[in-house]
Amino acid sequence: MRKVRNQGIIRPKISTMPRNQSEASNQLELYKLITEKQRIKQELAFIEQRTVLLKQRLSTLQVQIDTTEKNIKHLRSSESEVQVPPVARPKIFFETQNYQAFDIEY
């Protein structure tokens, strides 16, 4: 399983050098803000799609779990009704004289 780390708050990207206040620097700042907004919207859309897929998978798994549990209950009830004669069960005997116990250290 993948580890999910706590990412905390999303901090804005900053420039290392302050720019002079001009129309061009403000246009650049606006461009950065818009691209970050688009990126965050795309990420949210991806997360929503992934959430829908995960919820669908969960519902499919729940249906499979329910049917498997029903099959198990059905098999248990039919097994308790039908008794297998003792002759049908094979008996296996082990000869303990052929086995030796030993320890392995690693």
3-state secondary structure of 31: helix
Domain count, the chain: 1
Residue 103 lies in a domain: no
Whole domain around residue 59: which residue ranges? 54-80
Cβ-based neighbour number of residue 66 at 10 Å: 10
Residue 30 lies in a domain: no
Cα–Cα distance, 42 to 36 (Å, whole number) = 10
Tens digit of each residue's pLDDT (9 = 90 or more) over 4-25: 666 778 777 776 777 788 999 8
Residue 3 lies in a domain: no
Residue 1 lies in a domain: no
Residue 66 lies in a domain: yes
Residue 68 lies in a domain: yes
Residue 15 lies in a domain: no
Tens digit of each residue's pLDDT (9 = 90 or more) over 22-53: 999 899 999 999 999 999 999 999 999 999 99
Residue 75 lies in a domain: yes
20 or 92, which is more confident: 20
Q: Which of 22, 44, 41 is nearest to 33 (CA)?
A: 41
Q: Give residue 76's pLDDT.
A: 87
Q: Give residue 58's pLDDT.
A: 95
